[in-house]
Structure 1
C-alpha cells in the first residue's frame, strides 16, 4: 500500500477506535474509580503487548530506554488518569472535542522545545482554537450545571502530554519501530500501575457482580484496542508522517464520540457543536500554514 493511502487508513481506524474510547471509559467508571480505570488500562494493555511482542524488548538499545520512559509516562501513564477523572465529571463527547487541541499544542511545544518550525501566521489558528475551547466550556457549564467543568482542564493538560509524546517519538525514537516503542513503554509502566491498583485495594475489595463484570469488559476492550493496538498504529503513523499530521486524528475523534454520547443520552447543543468546528478550523489553519 502506498504511504499516503496508508496514512489515511491509519487516521480512519484510529478515529473509530479512539472515538469509541470515551464512551468505554464512561461505562467502565460505573463501578470503577478513575484511578482504577487508569491503572487497569495500563496493566491490561501491558499484559496484552508483552504476550504478543515481548521479543521486541531485545531490539531496544540502552540509550533508547530513557526516551521510552519519558514517552510512556507522558504519552500514556499520565493521560489515562487525566481522562478518567475528566470523563467522570463531564460528558464524554465534550472531552473528545477538547482533545482536538492536541495538534495546536503539538505545534506550539514542537516549536518551543523541540526545534520544529513555527510561523507567526500559525498563531491565528492557535487563537481561534482557544476561542472555540472557551465557548465550548462556558456553554457546556450553562446547559449542564450539574457537571463540574473545571475538570475540562485535565483534558487540556492531557493534550499537552500528547504533544510532548509526539515530538519525543519523532525526534528521539524515529529509529525504533512502532511495535517496539509500544512494548517498551508498557514494560516500564506495568509495575507502577500494579502498585497504584494495589493501593486502591481493588484486589481485595472489588465486587465481581454483573455491573462489575461489565466494567471490566469495557476496560479490557478499551485497553486492548483503544490503547494497545491503537498505540502501535499511532506510533507507526508518526514515523511515516509529521507530528502535526499524526495529531490531526483528533479532528475525526469527536465525530465518533459525539454519536456515541448522543446515543447514550448526553446533551449537546448546537453552540457546542459550533465551538467544536471552531476548534477544528483553528487546527486546520495551523496545518494549512505549515
Structure 2
C-alpha cells in the first residue's frame, strides 16, 4: 500500500501543471513526449532477446498509458482542471467491475468501497457545471478512466505474482515501449510539428511529468497494485484527488472549501479502512 500512497502524493502536483503549462500544446504531442521520456528512463532494462514474447505487455502499455493519456489530455481542451479531476472519480468503479468481470466473481465489499470513495471525492469537487462542452470533455475523461482501469487489471492478472523490483522494471520497459509506439503513431498522423515551440517552463514540465509522474509514478503504481486487493486499488485511484487539493492549499496557496475537503477526505479514508478491515476478516 505504501507504493500507492507515494504515487498518489507524486501525482497530486500534476493537475495544475498540465492545465497551467501545456494546454496550448497539441495533446497527442504532450502524451507522446512524456511517454518517450518515461521510456528512455526504463529502456536500459528492456529484454531484447524476449521481444517477440512481450507483445501482450506492449498492448497493455498502449492501452493503460498511451490511449489513456491521449484521451486524458484531450479532455483539457473542453474542461477546466477541476472538472477533469472531478470526472476521474469514476475510475474506482471501473477497476472493481473489470476485476469482477475478468475473474467472474462479484465482490460487494470492493464495489461498496469504490462507491464510497466516489461519494467522498464528489463532495470535495462538485460545483455547478453549465457548459455545453461538458459532455464532450466528460466522454474523453471516461474513455481515459476505462483505459487506465483496464490496464491496471490486465497487469494484475498477468503479473499477480511479482518477482521483485528488477523484474518489474524489465517488464515496464515493454509497457512504455507499447505506450510510446501508439502515441508516436498518433503523433505522426496528426501533430502539426512545424508549430511546436516549447518554452523553458514547458520543457521542465514535460521532464517532470515524463520522469517522475509517468516514469517512476506508473512503475510504482502498477507494482503497488500487485500488493493489494482490487477494493484497495480502486480507492487509491481516488485518493490522489483530496491529496492534490491539499497540496494546492498548503504549498501553492490556492483556496478551497475546507469543510468539503475534510468531509470528502474522511469518506475516502473510511472507504480504504472498511475495505482493508473487512477484506482481512474475509480472508481469516
Q: TM-score range by the shorter chain?
A: 0.7 to 0.9
Partner of 2:244: 257
| Contact 1:25/1:37, CA 8 A, preserved across alignment | no
- Residues of 2 paired with 1:172 and 1:48: CA distance? 23
Matched residue of 1:244: which SS?
Answer: helix
Give the TM-score taking structure 2 as reference length.
0.77
Query: Aligned in 2, Cα 1:26/1:249: closer, same or farther, shift over 3 Å?
Result: same
3-state secondary structure, aligned to 1:17: helix
Aligned counterpart, 1:4:
none
- Distance change >3 Å, CA 288–CA 178, structure 1 → 2: same
Gaps of 5+ in 2: 280-284
Per the alignment, residue 91 of structure 1 pairs with 80
Q: What secondary structure is seen at the aligned counterpart in 2 of 1:207?
A: coil
Q: Is the 8 A contact 2:70 2:183 kept in 1?
A: no
Shift of 1:147: 8.0
The count of corresponding residues between Structure 1 and Structure 2 is 272
Does 1:39 find its partner at 2:32? yes
CA distance in 2, matches of 1:192, 1:14: 24
Which residue in 2 is equivalent to 1:232? 219
The answer to whether 1:74 aligns with 2:63 is yes
Shift in alpha-carbon separation, 1:250–1:188, aligned structure 2, 3 A: closer
Q: TM-score, normalised by structure 1?
A: 0.75
Q: Matched residue of 2:127: which SS?
A: helix
Distance across 1 between alignment mates of 2:9 and 2:115? 28
Match of 1:18 in 2: 11
1:110 aligns with 2:95: no
From 160, 168, 178, the counterpart of 2:146? 160
Q: How does 1:91-240 map to 2 (within 5 A)?
A: 91-115=80-104, 117-120=105-108, 124-125=112-113, 139-141=127-129, 145=130, 148-150=133-135, 151-174=137-160, 177-208=167-198, 212-240=199-227
